[in-house]
Amino acid sequence: MGADFTVTLLNGRKTDVYFLSTIKELSAKLSAYGRRVLWVFDSNSAALFTNLPANSVILPSGEKNKTFSSIEKIISAALDAHLSRDSVFIGFGGGVVCDMTAFAASVFMRGCSLILVPTTLLCMVDASIGGKSAIDFKGGKNLIGTFYPAKDVLISSACLRTLPQQEFISGMGEVIKHAFLTEDDALYDFLVKNRNAILKKDRETVSEMVNMSLRVKASYIERDPEEKLGIRQALNLGHTFAHALETTANFSIKHGIAVAWGLSRAAYCGAELGITSRELQEKIDSLLSLYSYDIPYRIGRGEWLDFYSSVGKDKKRLQGGVKFVLLEAQGRPVLRELEQNLVKSAVISAPSRIS
């Protein structure tokens, strides 16, 4: 079976992306990787299997387990199973499992084959392609990692059946971001037209949406595989606001939900500066409202100092300043430093444009 599409990264390394409609089709594809395989799950993704395959590691779920000690567990299991460099690591789970499996695969015997099976929407549309592997270290998110693209990414929207709705809505934040990172209105129109089916996680509709969304991400990473040319940074649209909000809220707000809010705040700043048209700002806010994100949300005045110091710590700080991604037009991102007062008005006191 041929791949649905292929992403070409650094040094011609390719990731083949396959869409599989049912768990049965997914299992058939997975069985073709043979026996020299190590499976990595977390406690929730493992529950999608009635009988776990041989050579499985089940890690506890959650970001707090994205650590060296989990990598040690993965590599120990690979050694216990007498696997070597010609073996395959399969990461089966959300972004945490996939990032860690990729990191472990990149260092095990100086690199073995990597297959990713994303089971959250966020991982399907974002973490599964692009080659970034990572673990957290000393309180810093994704501080240690490698560029190590998966050979294959297998996507089945059937895996989302058990995903909690809040996790699904979080993934939708990244999908909506992608809709505004392309000049083509196809994804935007699809999201407007199919809202109900999407929110009900209708398998075929979600699969088509993930396919369109992932192609937008692929178009950026292929042009800037190592994030050195400023092109791939566009994928951080909304993220500087989002990271600061997540930190201020002690990570009680899910990442993609913070990204949706950040997208709206970036559109506001762009419009205030005359970079983004008011029409595009309205288009962004209306789509976010259609998916019930709390766009009028503002941080309390007492949170401002914490919020702004988190903005300063954002890893996208370049040459001393923090660059925000703004939109010159749909699909035309630009990087800009923003005055403190503008950021403040965007997150504390800006009037909502939603009527």
Ligand X SMILES: NC(=O)c1ccc[n+]([C@@H]2O[C@H](COP(=O)([O-])OP(=O)(O)OC[C@H]3O[C@@H](n4cnc5c(N)ncnc54)[C@H](O)[C@@H]3O)[C@@H](O)[C@H]2O)c1
What is the C-alpha separation between 257 and 135, in angstroms, rounded?
22
Tell me how far, at minimum, the Cβ of 161 lies from ligand X, in Å.
7
What is the C-alpha separation between 140 and 81, in angstroms, rounded?
32
Report the residue from 4, 16, 25, 63 that binds ligand X according to the rule CB under 6 A.
63
Tell me how far, at minimum, the Cβ of 19 lies from ligand X, in Å.
16
**Surface-to-core class of residue 277, CB atoms within 10 Å of its CB (0-12 exposed, 13-18 middle, 19+ buried):** middle
Tell me how far, at minimum, the Cβ of 326 lies from ligand X, in Å.
21
Phi, psi (degrees; rounded to nearest 5) at 275: -85, -45
* Nearer Cβ to ligand X (97/169): 97
Tell me how far, at minimum, the Cβ of 239 lies from ligand X, in Å.
10
Phi, psi (degrees; rounded to nearest 5) at 209: -65, -45
Residue 126 contacts ligand X per CB under 6 A: yes
Residue 94 contacts ligand X per CB under 6 A: yes
Options 8-16, 62-70, 186-194, 347-355: segment touching ligand X (CB under 6 A): 62-70
What is the C-alpha separation between 246 and 251, in angstroms, rounded?
5
* Nearer Cβ to ligand X (144/275): 144
* Nearer Cβ to ligand X (221/271): 221
What is the C-alpha separation between 79 and 106, in angstroms, rounded?
15
Residue 99 contacts ligand X per CB under 6 A: yes
Tell me how far, at minimum, the Cβ of 158 lies from ligand X, in Å.
9
Residue 130 contacts ligand X per CB under 6 A: yes
Residue 142 contacts ligand X per CB under 6 A: yes
Going through the chain in order, the beta strands assigned E by DSSP cover 5-8, 14-19, 37-42, 56-59, 88-93, 113-118, 132-137, 140-147, 152-155, 317-318, 321-329, 332-337
Residues 161-200 that bind ligand X (CB under 6 A): 162-163, 167
Q: CB within 8 A of 165, min separation 6: which ones?
A: none
Q: CB within 8 A of 15, min separation 6: which ones?
A: 6, 7, 9, 129, 131, 149, 150, 151, 152, 153
Residues 22-51 that bind ligand X (CB under 6 A): 42, 44-45, 48
Report the residue from 122, 176, 242, 259 that binds ligand X according to the rule CB under 6 A.
122
* Nearer Cβ to ligand X (168/268): 168
Residue 123 contacts ligand X per CB under 6 A: yes
Instruction: Give the interface with ligand X as residue ranges (CB under 6 A).
Output: 42, 44-45, 48, 61-63, 66, 93-97, 99, 119-120, 122-123, 126-127, 130, 132, 142, 159-160, 162-163, 167
